[in-house]
Amino acid sequence: MTYNAPLMTNPTAVDQTFAATLLEGRVRFLARGATCTVFTNGARVVRLSDPDPAKASRFRVDAQVRRKLHALGVPTPLTEDMGVLPDGRAYSIEALIRGDDLPPTPEGVRQLSRAIKALHTLECCGFGLLEDRADSLCGSGRTPAEGVLSRLHQPWPFAEGPLAAQPLVWAAPDLQQALAALEDELLSLAELPTCVCHTDLHLNQWLWRRGELAALLDFGDASVGPVAWDWASLAYFHGWPQATELAGAPLGREVALFGLLLAFHRASRAARDNHPQRTDEAAAFARSCLERLEDSPC
């Protein structure tokens, strides 16, 4: 969850009352994301989980990752308090971290690179989306394939169903032949070494202040998977040059392959949520992955 600008709809009066009680005073609405609503009193923020159990926030594992990264020197706000609201929803309180509009300096970019790589060093077990617990970082899947499916929506060929039925192929049918030829290589991604990955490294997941990294945020979707997952996520949201800069080394073939899994995931979610523009974005990214794979033969 990030705290830059309001998203989606305004909060209910009930949520504002809950937030004012928890922060002991007047609060203002800060943002609404996919899993929670955020309020602040100017010094701290409180996140209130979505009432839909399918969209509930994962505050325990988020707090655990923050704590471990903070111990490694990564700037991220520590969770100060967690609990349950009278209506059964979870809440989490932390310090408000402010960023600014200044672009990152070269050192700021290096700080972000080091922060992401520090996440990759955390001890973990299992596969896929981390269980929402406070004692260890353990993926919820028993196998690598289960791990991929625990986090990604319909990522062919891990998901059931023919390639032709995938929303990505509906949007770009000319890609079907090239994608079909990569089925075995895509499945082999499950055999790669694993680590803790952020998995959702879009622009609002970090804050800059005076050109330096002020905070790395939002570990609710962190998962155990190949390190290629995060470099592919960066490429999806920021482009291949910036992903390569943050990785600090040329990106291998496995990153473009994992990028295709992300394209399947994003296109399937876009079709589910009726966002055709996002489907087109996923198709464009898939094309860029295929181009890179053509330039890096097995």
pLDDT at 34: 85
Give burial (CB, 10 Å; 0-12/13-18/19+) of 52.
exposed
pLDDT at 296: 82
pLDDT at 157: 98
Determine the Cα–Cα distance for residues 194 and 191; give it in Å rounded to an integer. 9
Is 138 in a helix, a strand, or coil? Answer: strand
pLDDT at 10: 61
Quote the distance between the C-alpha of residue 51 and its chain's center: 21
Q: Which domains does the chain have, with CATH numbers?
A: 13-95 (3.30.200.20), 106-295 (3.90.1200.10)
pLDDT tens per residue across span 29-51? 999 888 999 999 999 999 999 99
pLDDT above 90: percentage of residues in the chain: 90
Terminal Cα-to-Cα distance of the chain (whole angstroms): 38
pLDDT at 3: 32
Site of tokens 């997941």? 205
Determine the Cα–Cα distance for residues 270 and 285; give it in Å rounded to an integer. 14
Determine the Cα–Cα distance for residues 294 and 136; give it in Å rounded to an integer. 40
pLDDT tens per residue across span 206-230? 999 999 999 999 999 999 999 999 9
pLDDT at 6: 36
Those residues of the chain that have pLDDT short of 70 are 1-11, 298
pLDDT at 165: 96
pLDDT at 55: 85
Site of tokens 């002020």? 214
pLDDT at 63: 98
Contacts of 260 (CB under 8 A, 6+ apart): 179, 182, 186, 286, 289, 290
Tell me the two tokens of residue 217. Answer: 């945020």
